[in-house]
Amino acid sequence: MVTGKGLKRIVKFLVNTLRHPIKTAKVLRPKGKARSSILFLVMQKSEAFIHLEWRRKWYRLFKNGITAVQKDNDTPLSVSFPKAEEATKLYAEKLGGVPGSALSEVLFGAPMTAHIMSGVAMGTDASNGVVDSSGEVFGYQNLRVIDGSIIPGNLGVNPSLTITALSEYAMSQVPVFDAARASKIKPIEFSEPREGLVSALTGSGDLAKSIAEKQKSRA
């Protein structure tokens, strides 16, 4: 495991490899990796940007494909987090393991992520967005985008619940085409949120119905 970025980090990695070749071989050995490894993920709130573009790269034999591009005016993605690396080292020490960094991040400065968000902006029309509040793409009837790409910024936490909430909301905006069929669908019942673990959300049961009734009473 090495901290820093760029050439300095690569040099550190090479020095560590020469000093500890057996440990390095164990860390990089692919066989049994999933069974003997613990992955540490870092969530951050700072904004960073990258563009996914269609480009023809020589290592793909010039076949057109999606390529991650970091532009000059972007806030670059981070590949080294000293506090997280320190925590990983302490954890590995307690377990008798060997801490390591992702090889692609060290050699190429290419960060790995499980949660790429934004890219498909929600707006009022095609001039300021890609989709409307129901996730429908402007200019394409019944074509919807409902995933992490409609989240406008970095949440700093796992986005799965936010994506679920946006999906629930988007689908509530879609007109019911078959009332008889829709009436047979059992609504999701929510329990009261535990105090101190969530936001100021209150209520239980069929929240979608409760929200609709509140909106109707306000109107």
Residue 77: DSSP 8-state:
P
Catalytic pick from 12, 89, 115, 144? 115
Question: In angstroms, what is the C-alpha Rg of the chain?
Answer: 23
Q: Based on the residue annotation, tell me whether 51 is a catalytic residue of this protein.
A: no
Find the distance separating the first CA and the last CA of the chain, reported in whole Å: 59
Amino acid at 198: V
Beta bridge mates, 66 = 54
Got the DSSP string for 123-188? -SSTTT-SB-TT-BBTTSTT-B--SGGG--S--SS--HHHHHHHHHHHHHTSPPS-HHHHHTSPPP
Quote the Cα angle for 84-90-91, to 5°.
Answer: 85
- Cβ count within 10 A of residue 99: 19
Residue 73 and residue 143: Cα distance in Å, rounded? 32
Catalytic residues: 115
